[in-house]
């Protein structure tokens, strides 16, 4: 069944996203979807295409544009991740990414607040009370949104500390089962300061090098976006990539070549922030949909 | 063997020599984290269920089940009666063992009866069945609520979401694996 209502909403929302960024001086860019060397990440598997790869995110190309002197840019594009299929996942999905020089992840959290309020008004939702309703929950977009560190969230909701979860290789399992259901219930939540090992392309906190300046935005338990202060040190970035490649090989997967051209470009990249937001999930939120199938024209199974 | 990426609702597997059916399945993957495959598995003999979270590298064995084609005749209380189309032998399967299949069974339908060590434990339905709509609220023209679907009741008592143009008496094709509406069919 083609979800006509969801498609109408999707079109309006994408138009509003474009207007928002263009009005604020961001350059809309398009970068190649098919690339020779993706960023190696332990748990994100790219699809291959004639010996190259379909992008899992436009991150590396967009950072090369930052390094080339474009200070503010955004892109809405298709990304591909092998084997990801569920109520909130499609192996081919739509991503919004935006990058800005000379800012850090705190500024980015403010961007998210302004963007969602703008969209709610543009979509005719929540413009009066500033309240978004999704799956029987009411989320207040108005006041300052909750910001909670990963360590604090585990302390509050999980049966063990974040260090114990990492040591037992149960971080993701416990996050999904105990922590995520509590996030974004009253206001949206920024889950921030991830353990240093869980942010392959993020800068470590200058005040606490055990955590990365990375956050995930949750609304009503739905994970919407992942943002961070960008790592701009090419030596550190190479070491992180090699560690990720090692983790990939341990899973018996082929990790592809290192993105050398990107590592070269990092030499001239200014301090910056970047964020990836799942557009399909954003549409789900505004359409009241509990399944990603309700906001796309066709699913892989329906082709 | 099934790997985690093959997991889906309705999959029949074997654990410690006993057959299980996956009655619920969900995929989740936080941020840049590991893929998690959460499954609810029901023992097809005892009916006991348990939940387990699997990871990408986990595998489950295929269940060693035999199948024979039988015709559904009628139900008596909670027992459903099936007949072998060749030998005319009849057997009973309980409502509990049939699970969601009771939503799609109509008289004289051919199904595959599953047997484990000679005991009937469930049925496999055709992937698609045609069922008549017995109750449907009329669609209000000019409805601007923006909803794409409405619920209707089928001849088996099953309630399904369909597009607004479906009316009482229509025959609908239903996917028995997912329980969702596929299309309206002509008689």
- Measured between beta carbons, which residues in chain A are less than 8 angstroms from residue B180? 1
Question: In whole angstroms, what is the distance from residue A302 CA to residue B180 CA?
Answer: 13
Chain B interface includes A24 (CB < 8 A): no
Chain B residues whose beta carbon lies within 8 Å of the beta carbon of residue A170: none
Contact (Cβ atoms closer than 8 angstroms) between residue A280 and residue A9: no
State residue B38's pLDDT score. 95
Q: What is the pLDDT of residue A21?
A: 98
Q: For chain B, percent helix, then strand, then coil, each to nearest 5?
A: 5, 55, 40
CB A171 within 8 A of CB A150: no
Task: Out of A5, A86, A251, name the one closest to residue B146 (CB).
Answer: A5
Q: Out of B30, B57, B148, whose CB is closest to A175?
A: B30
* Chain A residue closest in CA terms to B146: A5
Write out pLDDT tens, residues B45-101.
888 999 999 998 899 999 888 889 999 999 999 999 999 988 999 999 998 888 889
Domain with A28 in it: 4-302
Supply φ then ψ for residue A189, to 5 degrees: -120, 135
Q: What is the per-residue pLDDT for A129?
A: 54
The beta-carbon neighbor of B29 closest among A1, A89, A171 is: A89
d(CA B123, CA B67): 8
Q: If you measure CA to CA, which chain A residue comes closest to B144?
A: A5
- CA torsion sign for A53, A59, A62, A66 is negative
Query: Cβ of A5 and B147 within 8 Å?
Result: yes
**Least Cα separation, residue B22 to chain A (angstroms):** 15
Give Cβ neighbours of residue B171 (< 8 Å, ≥ 6 apart).
Answer: B130, B131, B132, B133, B184, B185, B186, B187
Question: Using the beta-carbon criterion (under 8 Å), do A173 and B180 form an inter-chain contact?
Answer: no
Distance from CA of A185 to the nearest CA of B (A): 17
Dist CA B146 CA A294 (whole Å): 13
For residue A179, what pLDDT is reported? 97
Helix (H, G, I), strand (E, B) or coil at A193: strand
pLDDT at B140 over 70: no
pLDDT, position A112: 97
Q: What is the mean pLDDT of residues B128-137?
A: 93
What's residue A231's pLDDT?
96
pLDDT for residue B147: 67
Distance from CA of A251 to the nearest CA of B (A): 8
Minimum-distance CB partner of A3 among B33, B36, B148: B148
List the CATH number of the domain containing A183: 3.30.930.10
pLDDT in tens, B47-58: 899 999 999 889
Phi, psi of B101, rounded to the nearest 5 degrees: -60, -30
**B90 close to B82: Cβ distance less than 8 angstroms:** yes
- A10-67 residue pLDDT tens: 999 999 999 999 999 999 999 999 999 999 999 999 999 999 999 999 999 999 999 9
pTM score, whole prediction: 0.83
Is residue A100 within 8 A of residue A72, CB to CB? The reply is yes
Rounded to a whole number, what is the distance in Å from the CA of B44 to chain A's nearest CA?
25
In angstroms, the CA A283 to CA A130 distance is 17
Provide, as residue numbers in chain B, all residues whose Cβ is less than 8 Å from the Cβ of A89: 27, 29
Closest in B53, B146, B180 to A173, CB measured: B53
CB nearest to B27's CB, from A85, A200, A216: A85
Ranges of chain A whose pLDDT falls below 70: 125-129
Q: Considering only alpha carbons, which residue of chain B is nearest residue A175?
A: B30
Tell me how close the Cα of A217 comes to any Cα of chain B, in angstroms.
10
Q: Is the pLDDT of residue B16 over 80?
A: yes
Q: Which residue of B has its CA nearest to A215?
A: B31
Burial of B141 (0-12, 13-18, 19+ CB in 10 A): exposed
What are the residue ranges of helices labelled H in A84-223?
105-122, 150-157, 162-167, 171-174
Tell me whether A166 touches chain B (CB under 8 Å): no
How far from A174 is each of A84, A146, A185, A224, CA to CA, in Å?
19, 20, 18, 19
From chain B, which residues contact A within 8 Å (Cβ)?
5, 26-36, 53, 56-57, 146-149, 162-163, 180-181
CB A143 within 8 A of CB A187: yes
What residues contact residue A218 under an 8 Å CB cut-off, 6+ apart? A180, A183, A184, A188, A189, A190, A191, A224
A247 Cβ contact partners less than 8 Å away, ≥ 6 residues apart? A42
From residue A143, give the alpha-carbon distance in Å to each of A19, A180, A189, A190.
24, 21, 12, 13
Domain count, chain A: 1
Would you call A251 an interface residue with chain B, using a CB distance cutoff of 8 Å? Answer: yes
Q: Mutation test of the interface with chain A: which of B7, B9, B30, choosing the one with the most A Cβ atoms within 10 A?
A: B30
Tell me: pLDDT of B105 over 80.
yes
Q: Contact at 8 Å (CB) between A142 and A130? A: yes
Give the pLDDT of residue A126: 54
Question: What span, in angstroms and rounded, lies between the C-alpha atoms of A229 and A99?
Answer: 10
**ipTM score for this prediction:** 0.87
Q: Which of B35, B147, B181 sits opposite A43 (nearest CB)?
A: B35
Between A and B, how many residue pairs show a Cβ–Cβ distance under 8 A? 65
- Distance, in Å, from the CA atom of A104 to the CA atom of A203, rounded to the nearest integer, reads 10
Q: A32, A53 in Cβ contact below 8 A?
A: no
CB contact under 8 A, B29 and A43: yes
Tell me which chain A residues have a C-beta less than 8 angstroms from the C-beta of B172. none
Inter-chain CB proximity B148 and A89 less than 8 Å? no
| Residue A203, SS3 per DSSP | coil
Instruction: Of A87, A49, A70, A88, give the one whose Cα is nearest residue A274.
Output: A70
Question: Phi first, then psi: what are they for A217, rounded to 5°?
Answer: -95, 130
């Amino acid at each position: 069944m083609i979800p006509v209502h969801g498609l109408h909403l999707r079109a309006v929302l994408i138009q509003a996203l474009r207007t928002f960024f263009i009005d604020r001086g961001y350059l809309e860019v398009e970068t190649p979807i098919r690339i020779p060397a993706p960023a190696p990440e332990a748990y994100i598997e790219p699809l291959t295409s004639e010996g190259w790869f379909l992008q899992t995110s436009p991150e590396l190309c967009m950072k090369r544009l930052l390094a080339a002197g474009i200070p503010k840019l955004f892109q809405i594009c298709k990304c591909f991740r092998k084997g990801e299929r569920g109520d909130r996942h499609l192996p081919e999905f739509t991503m919004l990414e935006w990058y800005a020089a000379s800012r850090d992840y705190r500024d980015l959290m403010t961007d998210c607040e302004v963007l969602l309020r703008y969209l709610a008004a543009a979509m005719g939702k929540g413009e009066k009370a500033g309240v978004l309703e999704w799956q029987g929950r009411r989320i207040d977009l108005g006041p300052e949104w909750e910001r909670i560190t990963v360590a604090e969230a585990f302390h509050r909701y999980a049966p063990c500390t974040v260090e114990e979860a990492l040591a037992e290789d149960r971080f993701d399992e416990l996050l999904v089962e105990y922590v995520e259901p509590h996030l974004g219930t009253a206001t949206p939540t920024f889950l921030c300061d991830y353990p240093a090992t869980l942010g392959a392309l993020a800068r470590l906190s200058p005040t606490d090098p055990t955590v990365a300046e990375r956050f995930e935005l949750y609304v009503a338990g739905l994970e919407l976006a992942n943002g961070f202060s960008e790592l701009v040190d090419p030596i550190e970035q190479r070491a992180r990539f090699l560690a990720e490649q090692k983790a990939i090989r341990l899973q018996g997967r082929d990790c592809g070549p290192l993105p050398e051209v990107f590592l070269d470009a990092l030499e001239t990249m200014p301090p910056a922030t970047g964020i990836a937001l799942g557009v399909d999930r954003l549409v789900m939120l505004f359409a009241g949909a509990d399944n990603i199938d309700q906001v796309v024209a066709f699913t892989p199974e329906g082709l | 063997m099934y790997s985690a990426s093959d997991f889906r609702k309705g999959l029949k597997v074997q654990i410690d020599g006993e057959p299980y059916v996956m009655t619920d399945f969900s995929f989740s993957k936080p941020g840049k984290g590991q893929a998690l495959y959460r499954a609810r598995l029901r023992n097809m003999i005892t009916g006991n269920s348990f939940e387990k979270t699997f990871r990408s590298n986990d595998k489950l064995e295929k269940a060693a089940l035999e199948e024979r084609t039988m015709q559904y005749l009628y139900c008596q209380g909670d027992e459903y009666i099936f007949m072998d189309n060749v030998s005319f032998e009849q057997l009973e399967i309980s409502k509990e063992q049939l699970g969601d299949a009771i939503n799609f069974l109509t008289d004289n339908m051919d199904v595959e009866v599953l047997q484990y060590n000679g005991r009937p434990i469930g049925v496999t339905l055709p992937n698609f069945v045609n069922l008549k709509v017995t109750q449907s609220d009329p669609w209000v023209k000019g409805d601007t609520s923006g909803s794409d679907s409405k619920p209707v009741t089928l001849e088996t008592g099953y309630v399904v979401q369909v597009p607004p143009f479906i009316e009482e008496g229509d025959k609908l094709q239903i996917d028995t694996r997912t329980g969702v509406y596929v299309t309206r069919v002509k008689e």
